[in-house]
């Protein structure tokens, strides 16, 4: 009785990290700093102190990157912030940009 060995090969699949996107808040004259801080804490899980520092940067520089995330997550968080802003009567704009 012979024992034949069968070798099965699978093609090597290269798994790439998903591309990252920057979530950017744009300053406006209507959205309150308290609301911006609240969204950073609730949506992005920042501690209050860090959320205040980012909010100050947005206020003084006109915009700031609040997170760098895979596209789907960045998009979802941007949508969540936009919905909260709209529900609260704020025109807060959230932009996504590919991270270089």
Series of mean pLDDT values for 10-residue runs along the chain (100 residues): 72 84 97 98 98 97 97 97 97 95
Contact, 77 vs 67, CB < 8 A? yes
**100 token code pair:** 């270089």
How far apart are the C-alpha atoms of 75 and 88, rounded to whole Å? 20
pLDDT at 6: 77
Q: Could you tell me which residues come within 8 angstroms of residue 81 by beta carbon, excluding any fewer than 6 positions away?
A: 25, 39, 43, 92, 94
pLDDT at 14: 85
Confidence (pTM): 0.83
Contact, 73 vs 88, CB < 8 A? no
pLDDT at 67: 98
pLDDT at 1: 58
Domains in the chain, CATH or no CATH each: 28-98 (3.30.1390.10)
What is residue 40's DSSP assignment? H
């Amino acid at each position: 009785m012979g024992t034949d060995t069968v070798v099965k090969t699978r093609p090597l699949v290269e798994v790439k990290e998903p591309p990252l996107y920057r979530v950017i808040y744009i300053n406006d004259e209507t959205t309150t700093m308290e609301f911006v801080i609240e969204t950073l804490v609730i949506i992005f899980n920042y501690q209050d102190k860090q959320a205040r520092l980012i909010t100050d940067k947005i206020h003084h520089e006109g915009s700031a990157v609040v997170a760098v995330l895979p596209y789907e997550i960045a998009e979802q968080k941007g949508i969540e912030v936009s919905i909260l802003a709209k529900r609260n009567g704020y025109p807060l704009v959230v932009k996504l940009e590919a991270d270089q």
